Amino acid sequence: MTTRTTTAKTATGKVISNKMDKTIAVLIERTVRHPLYGKFMRRSIKLLAHDETNECNEGDIVIIEATRPLSKNKSWRLQKVVSKAQVV
């Protein structure tokens, strides 16, 4: 019997919505270089992640990790909150 160790795929992003029950929307931004002109451009993607305890608020910086599909659009879950947003 062989044992396989796998590292979970993780991503860091900003919570942009927590209006759903046990679900957060996380915006992940990255910079890519244009292949011809060399200009750096911002590319972003919005992912839905499972937040079991509803602990995240908008503006929080979080780490999410890939998991099995939990619903039609949700296949990530909250790993930890890196920093909380400042409340005004």
User: Over the stretch 34-51, which tens digit does the pLDDT of each residue have?
Assistant: 999 999 999 999 999 999
The full 3-state SS of the chain, as one line of letters, equals: CCCCCCCCCEEEEEEEEEEECCEEEEEEEEEEECCCCCCEEEEEEEEEEECCCCCCCCCCEEEEEECCCCCCCEEEEEEEEEECCCCC
Which CATH code for domain 10-83?
A: 2.40.50.140
Determine the average pLDDT of the residues in 22-40. Answer: 97
Which residue did the predictor score with more confidence, 87 or 73? 73
Identify any residues that bridge with 13 across adjacent strands, giving them in sequence order.
62
Domain ranges of the chain: 10-83
Q: What SS3 class is residue 54? A: coil
What's the predicted TM-score (pTM) here?
Answer: 0.85
Q: What percent of the chain has pLDDT over 90?
A: 86
Which tokens hold the place of 30?
A: 């990255």
